[in-house]
Copies of this chain bind each other. A is one copy, B any other.
């Protein structure tokens, strides 16, 4: 199966969580909107009135006849095909629950720089962004980090991944969260990181994986920038 990923071509954004799963699994995929004429193809699919299963927004994945949107839903579908989650229903629900909590976290990171509206420029909501980010870095960020650190801490010794014994797509997403908040809030993270040693070790373990390490060095990995979910505005990072 050759998968087709549709996502904005110039940012990591939400699409990166899907890219990391495809890359780690060595899956055959096309990052459609990054190809010549790929953006118009994506926009046609988004705006088509005949598509029976229209996405609300990118990312979405074409897998044969299926068109699947919502990042966590795409990963729910892919993980069983790419062997990135154990087979039992209980474990899959648990993995998906963690992924949905990550999705909430991503939404909150986005809103640190866009607390008023996604259609307005950052500069138009800078004062509100300062207030929201202060609350996020003081309260929400430690809450999310602490929650996932606790999950790692509860495992028997030697279990180094979020689901326990074996790597899963949730670990790949957690790597991306740590990368992202380090990029966006370097001062805050320098202060917080010592409290979450298991998460940082997980991040390092993922970044060294045989397919992830070369991916991160490749041109397929779009650098962080000021257009994505994770943005570095020094005035927000005290």
Contact = CB atoms under 8 A, between A and B. Distances in A.
Interface of A: 49-50, 52-56, 66, 68-70, 72-73, 76-77, 90, 93-94, 96-97, 100-101, 103-104, 107, 111, 115-117, 119-120, 125, 128, 131-132, 135-136, 139-140, 147, 150-151, 154
Q: Is the interface of A mostly helix, strand, loop or mixed?
A: helix
A115 B135 contact: no
Contact of A70 (B97, B107, B151): B97
B49 A154 contact: yes
24 contacts: A49-B150, A53-B94, A53-B97, A54-B147, A54-B151, A54-B154, A56-B101, A56-B147, A66-B90, A66-B93, A70-B100, A73-B100, A76-B93, A77-B93, A107-B107, A111-B115, A115-B115, A115-B132, A116-B128, A116-B132, A117-B131, A117-B136, A128-B128, A128-B131
Contact of A135 (B50, B55, B116, B131): B116
A76 to B, nearest CB: 7
A29 to B, nearest CB: 18
Contacts of A69: 97
A117 B101 contact: no
B116 A96 contact: no
Nearest to A150: B54
Going nearest first, the 8 A-B pairs with the smallest beta carbon separation are A117-B135, A70-B100, A56-B101, A70-B97, A73-B97, A115-B115, A116-B131, A128-B128
Nearest to A101: B56
A73 B50 CA distance: 29
B116 A70 contact: no
Contacts of A116: 115, 128, 131-132, 135
B94 A120 contact: no
Contacts of A128: 115-116, 128, 131
A73 B102 CA distance: 13
A110 to B, nearest CB: 11
Contacts of A154: 49-50, 52, 54
A70 B101 contact: yes
Nearest to A60: B97
A72 B70 CA distance: 12
Contacts of A115: 111, 115-116, 128, 132
